[in-house]
Structure formats: structure tokens, C-alpha cells
A and B are shown apart, each in its own frame.
Chain A
Amino acid sequence: MTSTTLANPSAARVAQRGNVWGRRFLIAAAWLIFTLFLLLPLYVVVNEALKQGLGTFFTSILEPDALSALKLTLIAVGISVPLNVVFGVAAAWCVSKYDFKGKSLLVTLIDLPFSVSPVIAGLIYVLMFGAQGWFGPWLQDHDIQIVFAVPGIVLATIFVTVPFVARELIPLMQEQGTQEEEAARLLGANGWQMFWHVTLPNIKWGLIYGVVLCTARAMGEFGAVSVVSGHIRGMTNTLPLHVEILYNEYNHVAAFSVASLLLALAIFILLLKQWSESRINRLKASAAEE
């Protein structure tokens, strides 16, 4: 390749110039689309939020209902993400380190929440735990409220986020195989030591990436949570639901203020994701050098 470039520099330059214009056009198009569909809406959100000044902005997000929505969102994230980590690591471990019947079925089932519409996921919980649901009478007898209460919201969030960590870890762990674990056992490590000192450090960045994706989804989930929530202000409202209520009440400034709070959280998560992704790529690159 180098030799042809040297042999016929002008032809190469012409070809390259053609390339340059094509490339510039594509890049410009990409930026245009990005600006129109992503940056502009973001700008609008923030702009609307600050329309009546910072004072109104802060009143809107510090108002009790907004704070309670924030709290509920954080509770849903705080419960679903750790559970997800445990489930994801356990599932990925089973799938990548053992051979058993029904393995491919398990892998398919892990993906189910990706293919089922979140609204249907919410409805499943209503059908199961609602007053008219399968377990409804039993739950009522024992005075347990799941649907239209915090447990329902947490359950719905768990359902929609189940695949994130497992999906991230399964290919990673399959690629790494079991030899390092075997070596650890041969050197006298027990199961816990093996996991802590060998497996976990090897999957660390993939795990963080999975957690970040899972957190982002848990915070932003609307459909499934909307069905099971009942929209009781100050009680069963998460941030996305609260934004919707405010918006439907034509309280635009407040809606956009809360929305930009959600946005700030999302951007923070995005930065975390970027950082962990670059770590993973660096690890992969160094592994590929081997």
C-alpha cells in the first residue's frame, strides 16, 4: 500500500480528496442530526426550566412532592441495582462456567424484559398482585400492599432492568474461560477467595459498565412504573412520573425543572459510563496484545 502511494502520489491525493469531501459531508450530517434531535431538546429543557429565573427553578425541585419523587426514584435505584448486580453475576457465572441442561433457555429468559414492552411488564404485576389479581385476596388478608405502592414500583423497576448486568458479563466471562479460577483453586483458594481475588477483578469494569446502564434505566423507567404506581402525589411518584403530572397540569416551568434534575443525573451516569468503557477498551487492547 505504501509503495503504490509513493509510486503515484498525485492519484493517491486525488482519491484522498474525494474521500475528504465525502467524509466531511457525513460528519456534518451526523452533527446536524445530533444537534437537532439531541442537543436542541436538551437546550429547550434547560431553557424552559430557567425561564423564570433560578429562584423558581429551585423552588420547583425543592418542593416536597418533587423531593419525595426524587427519594422514591433513589429508593427504586438503590434496591434494584444491587439486586441486579447479585442476580447478574450469579447468572453470568452459571452460564459461563458450567454446562447444564436448559442453559440456552435461561439465556433467552434473561433477555425477556428487553423484548417485552414495559407497559406489559407493569400489567403483569397488576394482574398478579392487584386487588383483583391472583395473589390479591391473600395479600389483602395479610395487609400487604404491592401495587399502587412502593414495593410495586421497585418490582417493576427490577423487572425491566434484569438483563443489564448479566448481558454485560456473560460474553466477558465466557471469553475469559475458567482457567484462572482453576489455577486459584489448585493454589488452595476457597470459593469465596477465588471469586474475590480472581473472578471479580477480571470482570470489574464490565460489571461497572453494567451497573451504570442499569442505574440509568432504573432512574428513567416510565412505562412499567406508571402502570403499577397509581400516581399518588408525594407517595408513589417517581421523578419521570412527577414530570408527567406537572406537565399535564400545564406547570411547564416546574416540569422542566424536575426534568433537568433527571437530566443532570443522566449526564453524570453517562460520564461514569464513558469512563468505565474506556477502561474496558484499554483492558481489551492489552489482552489482545497477548
Chain B
Amino acid sequence: MSIQISKVNKHFGAFQALNNIDLNIQSGELVALLGPSGCGKTTLLRIIAGLETPDTGRIAFHGEDVSNREVRERNVGFVFQHYALFRHMTVFNNVAFGLRMKPKNERPSEKIIAEKVHDLLNLVQLDWLADRYPEQLSGGQRQRIALARALAVEPKVLLLDEPFGALDAKVRKELRRWLARLHEEVHLTSVFVTHDQEEAMEVADRIVVMNKGVIEQIGAPAEVYENPASDFVYHFLGDSNRLYLDPENHILFRPHEVALTRQAEADYQAAEVRDIRPLGAITRITLKVNSQDEPIEAEVIKDHASLNGLTRGQILYFKPKAVTTAHQ
């Protein structure tokens, strides 16, 4: 099911949380809403689900206006950032909830419900936890149960609010890959919120970059990374260096787009080595140029020739390789 969001505005009192949002999501797509804290990601997600009403604008599912449709009639699966599992119900009953709430004539028998719940629990690989209560689960397990619960009613759209936000880095990585695989299998139109650019790049078909209630750019991960539409997008999608050519003009480039040598060469600029950080496959070097206070960071493979015997305080020569953007 495709989603069309047109000219959506939302205020909380005098504060404008969303400003003229236009966004079309294709059927079966996995879209990431990416942006810093407070930029309106959750608000947009809640408006799509019907938990919040926009001041103006409309939401359509598959071309059909759902602005006036109640939450329970939108058939949206929603995974909350803090899971919101029903604390007094077992895992099994949590997942079965949506099926049991159906009107009598549509409600499956308890036997079919049980089968379906176990299928879903198998899908999230947690069938053995069926009789536990939410408080007896780890964060990652709760997360997956919340997902199984949302999938139980066979939603047309799946909305996930920072699904991995509260988890540690390793579990996050596992779960996000698992989500990407799951999406390959079920192909549900999905929107997920994140403020982690790496997560968005890794999982999403398209990324929507938001800032202060407006959409800065929409595009495939490679597209927004290679051709950022604004300085904001450039900075938000990865580490970046700013090198001033003169007081008015600067260029932007990423740490891995820096060439380094030990000897002075044409087009290369001298800089003092302030710090050397081995980070596994690559090493990060912090450089200080005389013309500006802002340091320059360079990342090169760990056995790069220029690193041989390098110590702090020495002089290195650097040159931005392909400068990606030169915004003002």
C-alpha cells in the first residue's frame, strides 16, 4: 500500500513541529526518516498512524484519503520507541491481542489464533518466550515481540519509531539486518524513524532527511550521500571537514577523501599532526592547518605509507581528493 502525504503542517501551541511536508512512499518500500532529535520524525509518524491530527494537509493510503479515518480503521502496524507492550499480559497474549479484538464475525477461533501467534513468534525467533511477561524480557526481545504484535493483524503499513534506539550497538546491528531481511520476505510498506545515519544507509530503500520540521532531501542512500542537497544533509550523513579558502569561502570533504604524503608536493597543504588514532582497518589522523582553528580529520588505511613512523607534532601534507560539495 502506498502512502501519500501532502502539505502537512502541525503546530504544538506556537511551535511549528512540521512545516509543509510532502512525501510519497511507494508500495513495498522501506523508507527511513532521518534527522536530529526534535525535528518532527515521531510527529510525522504519529500523523500517518492517526494518533495525531495535522492542522492542515492530508494523508492518503493508496490514493484514498484517510485523514478522517480513525486509528483503529487505518490498519497500521506501529512499533513504539519504548515498545509499549501490555505489561500485565504474557508475550503470547500480547501478540494475540489484535486478533482477539476483531469483531465477532471476523475473529478467528482460539485455535487459529494460537497457530498464528506461534508462527509470528517463530518469525521473530522467540517462540520459547510465549509465557513470559514483558518485564522478564531483554530490550531486544521486547523489541521483537512488539514487532510480532504489530504484524499479527496483517497491517498494510508498518511504522517503526526508533526501533533500535534503546539497544546497545551490537544488538542494534543484528536487529537492523534482521529487519532488512524480514522486509525482503514480507515486503510491507514500512517507514522507520532513526537519528542514526548509518542505520538509515544500511537498511532503507530511500532516506528522508528532516531538519526542524522540514524535509531537506529525499533520495536513495547513495544519492543523499553523494549529492547532498544542503550543508545540513552533508554534515548529517557523515563526518565532514571544512577547509576555508578565504574568510568567505570554504570547501567540504569527508575524512576518507583526503590524500596524505610525507613530502611537500604540488596542491598539497602542510599541516601539523595533532593526533593519531588506529581504528581497526583504518587510522584517523587529526591535522591542524595554520589558516584556521577548525581541525581537519583524515582517514586512511592502516598500512598507508604516510603513517610509517609518524608521531604527533610532525608535519604532513594533505589534499582533499574529489571535493564533494562547495556550499556557502
Residues of A within 8 A of B (CB): 179-180, 182-190, 193, 197-198, 201-202, 286-287, 289-290
Query: Who on chain B is nearest to A176 by CB?
Result: B87
Chain B residues within 8 Å of A179, by CB: 80, 82, 84
Within 8 A of A (CB), among B241-270: none
Contact A202–B87 (Cβ < 8 Å): yes
Given contacts A184-B97, A198-B86, contact A189 B78 (CB under 8 A): no
Q: How far is the CB of A54 from chain B (nearest CB, A)?
A: 47
Contact A193–B101 (Cβ < 8 Å): yes
Question: Which of B76, B86, B153 has the most chain A CB atoms closer than 10 A to its own CB?
Answer: B86
Q: How far is the CB of B81 from chain A (nearest CB, A)?
A: 9
The CA-CA distance from A41 to B160 in the complex, in Å, is 62
Chain A residues within 8 Å of B77, by CB: 186
Q: How far is the CB of B148 from chain A (nearest CB, A)?
A: 12
Q: How far is the CB of B97 from chain A (nearest CB, A)?
A: 5
Chain B residues within 8 Å of A289, by CB: 135
B49: interface (CB < 8 Å) = yes
Chain B residues within 8 Å of A189, by CB: 72, 97, 101
Contact A186–B87 (Cβ < 8 Å): no
Chain A residues within 8 Å of B51, by CB: 182, 185-186
Size bin of chain B's contact surface = 20 to 34
The 16 listed contacts between A and B (C-beta, < 8 Å) are A179-B80, A179-B82, A182-B51, A183-B84, A185-B71, A186-B51, A186-B72, A186-B77, A187-B97, A187-B149, A187-B152, A187-B153, A189-B101, A197-B86, A289-B135, A290-B135
Q: How far is the CB of B52 from chain A (nearest CB, A)?
A: 10
Chain A residues within 8 Å of B152, by CB: 187
Contact A183–B80 (Cβ < 8 Å): yes
Chain B residues within 8 Å of A183, by CB: 78, 80, 84-86, 149
B304: interface (CB < 8 Å) = no
Given contacts A186-B71, A189-B72, contact A180 B86 (CB under 8 A): yes
The CA-CA distance from A216 to B221 in the complex, in Å, is 65
Query: Who on chain B is nearest to A290 by CB?
Result: B135
Query: Who on chain A is nearest to B82 by CB?
Result: A179
Given contacts A179-B80, A180-B86, A287-B87, contact A187 B135 (CB under 8 A): no
